[in-house]
Amino acid sequence: MVDVSSRCHESVTNICPSPWPLKRRRSAVAENGVLAILVASCARQSLGRDLFFSPSFYNKIIFQPNIDHQAVLTVIQTFRLLILYSQFVVFLVLLHSYEEHWLHTGLNFLLFEMLTVLALLSHAKTMLTDPGSVPKGNATEENIERLQAAEEFKVIYKCQKCCSIKPDRAHHCSVCDRCIRRMDHHCPWVNNCVGEANQKYFVLFTMYIALLSFHALYWGIWQFVLCVGKEWHSCSNLGPPGTTLMLIFLMFEAILFAIFTSVMFGTQLSAICSDETAIESLKR
């Protein structure tokens, strides 16, 4: 049996010695074909000693190095303002018919608020959950030797961009500047990647927003028809022009989000059923 560790020692020590850069690309292959270590050039960076993802969310997720933070905050605040606007319409217009249609209005209000809370919770969970990031700079001599001992026949890949051991089906995100396990895509609406660990929350988020949008569309149309039938008498406190504009904008917002989130929800379900991420389907 060939001593793999001794024959590959020179290549292993050059994988990513902290804090010095790897000067050239090397391949170390054991003579008996047991192991192949593929390494690529990587930039000078501080590697750190912890093999696990840091719990500091604000340093790793929100303040990502390659992202326009102002644009991300604009996107997230726009989403929250649209949710806030829908609540504004509910309390100023849609609940105005409670006295005459208390059962219908009450049930719709409870359903609308329930979907809103679930959508906000799933959005926060998608945004705050580590999507499955691979620790940066974990391609050290100790880790390589440990993997050699555990899986002799496994080919070990290293990402040249974040200097980490790259698991199967992991992809490097240029926005997060790290590899993500089973990365589907990077979503600006949650300022996070959709990957192995948070995909279920993203699926729930798109589903709840789609249901909320369809429900808002139904409730807005119902209220508009009711107001027209009553010739806008006791329809709301805003008068016919203001009520009409608010309902039209609510329905436009509902249609837009219903189409967008329904497509995203269907895409995610298709990816789950086929066991293929969006990146993998594009590379196929």
Domain boundary residue, one of 158, 181, 204: 181
Alpha helices for 46-68 (secondary structure H):
57
The tens digit of pLDDT for each residue in 61-101 reads 444 555 556 666 777 778 888 899 999 999 989 988 888 88
Q: In this structure, are 115 and 149 located in the same domain?
A: no
Q: In this structure, are 41 and 65 located in the same domain?
A: no
Q: In this structure, are 139 and 127 located in the same domain?
A: no
- Host domain of residue 278: 57-132+195-283
- Active site (annotated) includes residue 187: yes
Q: Using 50, 70 and 90 to split pLDDT, how confident is the model at 152?
A: low
Q: In this structure, are 33 and 164 located in the same domain?
A: yes
Residue 188: inside a domain: no
Instruction: Classify burial at 32, counting beta carbons within 10 Å of its beta carbon; exposed 0-12, middle 13-18, buried 19 or more.
Output: exposed
Rounded to two decimals, what is the model's pTM? 0.73
Helix (H) or strand (E) holding 224: helix 199-229
Nearest Cα neighbor of 245 from 92, 112, 115 is 92
The tens digit of pLDDT for each residue in 96-139 reads 888 888 999 999 999 999 999 999 999 999 999 999 988 887 76
187, 193, 227, 235: the active-site residue: 187
Of 33-47, 107-121, 173-187, the least confident = 33-47
Count: domains in the chain: 2
Nearest Cα neighbor of 43 from 151, 160, 122, 157 is 160
Q: In this structure, are 112 and 143 located in the same domain?
A: no
Strand, coil or helix: 43: coil
Cβ neighbours around 212 below 10 Å, total:
24
What pLDDT is recorded for position 32?
Answer: 32
Q: In this structure, are 237 and 210 located in the same domain?
A: yes
Residue 267: inside a domain: yes
Residue 245: inside a domain: yes
Q: In this structure, are 62 and 167 located in the same domain?
A: no
Domain boundary residue, one of 181, 208, 240: 181
The tens digit of pLDDT for each residue in 204-261 reads 999 999 999 999 999 999 999 988 888 787 777 788 888 899 999 999 999 999 999 9
Q: In this structure, are 126 and 108 located in the same domain?
A: yes
**Could you tell me what percent of the chain has a pLDDT over 90?**
40
| Residue 225 identity | V
Q: In this structure, are 61 and 199 located in the same domain?
A: yes
Q: How far apart are the first and last CA of the chain?
A: 39
Residue 162: inside a domain: yes
Q: In this structure, are 113 and 253 located in the same domain?
A: yes
Distance CA 271, CA 269 (A): 5
Of 119-123, 141-145, 216-220, 267-271, the least confident = 141-145
Q: What is the DSSP-derived secondary structure letter of residue 165?
A: E
What pLDDT is recorded for position 205?
Answer: 97
